[in-house]
Amino acid sequence: MDDGRFRDADDLLAAASDETSRQAREELREIIRRIRREHTLGSSELLAKIRPSIPDITPADLDRWTRSGEAQYRLIDGQLRYFDREPANIFRFCPDAIRRQLPAPTTQPAFITEHHLADVIAASSRTGKSLILPIRHHGHYTLTVPPNLAKPGQLVRCWLPFPQEYSRQWDVKLLSASPGQPVVAPPAGSPHRSLYLEHRVADASSPIAFKMEFEFTSWAYYPALDDALAKPLPSSYSAGHLAERPPHILFTPALRQAVAEAVGGQRNPLARARAIFDWVATHIRYCAEEEYCTIPSFSEKALRTRKGDCGIQTMLFIAMCRCAGIPARWQSGWESRPGLVNMHDWAEFYVEPWGWLPADPSYGLRDSPDPLVRHFYFGHIDSYRMIVNFDYGCPLHPPKPSFRSEPADFQRGEVELAGRNLYFDEWDFDMAFEYQML
Mind listing the pLDDT tens digit for each residue in 240-277? 999 999 999 999 999 999 999 999 999 999 999 999 99
Mean pLDDT is lowest, of 105-109, 129-133, 332-336, for 105-109
Per-residue pLDDT tens for 156-208? Answer: 999 999 999 999 999 999 999 999 999 999 999 999 999 999 999 999 999 99
The tens digit of pLDDT for each residue in 208-229 reads 999 999 999 999 999 999 999 9
pLDDT at 357 over 90: yes
Rounded distance between C-alpha atoms, residue 269 and residue 355, angstroms: 12
Q: pLDDT digit string (tens) for 7-57?
A: 999 999 999 999 999 999 999 999 999 999 999 999 999 999 999 999 999
Model confidence at 420: pLDDT above 90:
yes
Q: With respect to residue 261, please indicate whether it lies within any of the assigned structural domains.
A: yes
3-state secondary structure of 77: coil
Q: Are residues 273 and 363 located together in one domain of the fold?
A: yes
Q: What is the pLDDT of residue 104?
A: 83
Owning domain of residue 289: 224-379
Query: What is the C-alpha to C-alpha distance for residues 427 and 421, in angstroms, rounded to an integer?
Result: 11
Quick one: which of 310, 399, 348, 430 has its CA closest to 168?
348
What CATH number should be reported for the domain holding residue 251? Answer: 3.10.620.30
Q: How far, CA to CA in Å, does 257 sit from each of 53, 262, 276, 295, 315?
A: 40, 9, 12, 22, 16
Largest CA distance in the chain: 68
Length of the chain: 438
For residue 109, the model assigns a pLDDT of 78
d(Cα 346, Cα 314) in Å, to the nearest integer? 6
Question: With 90 as the cut, is the pLDDT of residue 110 above it?
Answer: no
Confidence (pLDDT) at 225 = 98
Under the banding of pLDDT at 50, 70 and 90, the label for residue 93 is very high
Q: Are residues 202 and 339 in the same domain?
A: no
Q: Does 358 map to a domain?
A: yes
Q: Which residues contact 45 (CB under 8 A, 6 or more apart)?
A: 82
Cβ-contact 314, 244 below 8 angstroms? no
Instruction: Specify the pLDDT at position 271.
Output: 98
Whether residue 202 sits in one domain with residue 177? yes
302 pLDDT more than 90: yes
HEC profile of 280-347: HHHHCEECCCCCHHHCCCHHHHHHHHCEECHHHHHHHHHHHHHHCCCCEEEEEEEEEECCEEEEEEEE
Q: Say yes or no: 192 and 293 in one domain.
A: no
Binned at pLDDT 50, 70 and 90, residue 320 comes out as very high
* 230 plus 367 within the same structural domain: yes
Q: For residues 258 and 344, state if they share a domain.
A: yes
All residues at 6 or more sequence positions from 127 whose CB lies less than 8 Å from its CB, including other chains? none
Q: How many CB atoms lie within 10 A of CB 147?
A: 12
b/e per residue 346-373 (b: at least 16 CB within 10 A): bbbbbbeebebbbbbbbbbbbeeeeebb
Q: Are 356 and 349 in contact (CB under 8 A)?
A: yes
Spatial CB neighbours of 194, under 8 Å, sequence gap ≥ 6: 159, 160, 161, 162, 184, 185, 396, 397, 410, 413
Residue 139 counted as domain residue: yes
- Percent of the residues in the chain that have a pLDDT greater than 70, as a whole number: 100
Mean pLDDT over 280-284 rounds to 97
Q: What pLDDT is recorded for position 125?
A: 97
Q: How many CA atoms lie within 13 A of 152 on its CB side?
A: 3
Provide the β-strand partners of residue 208: 145
Residue 96 shares a structural domain with residue 139:
no
pTM, whole model, 2 decimals? 0.96
Parallel, antiparallel, or unpaired for β 355-359 and 385-389? Answer: unpaired
The structural domain count of the chain equals: 3
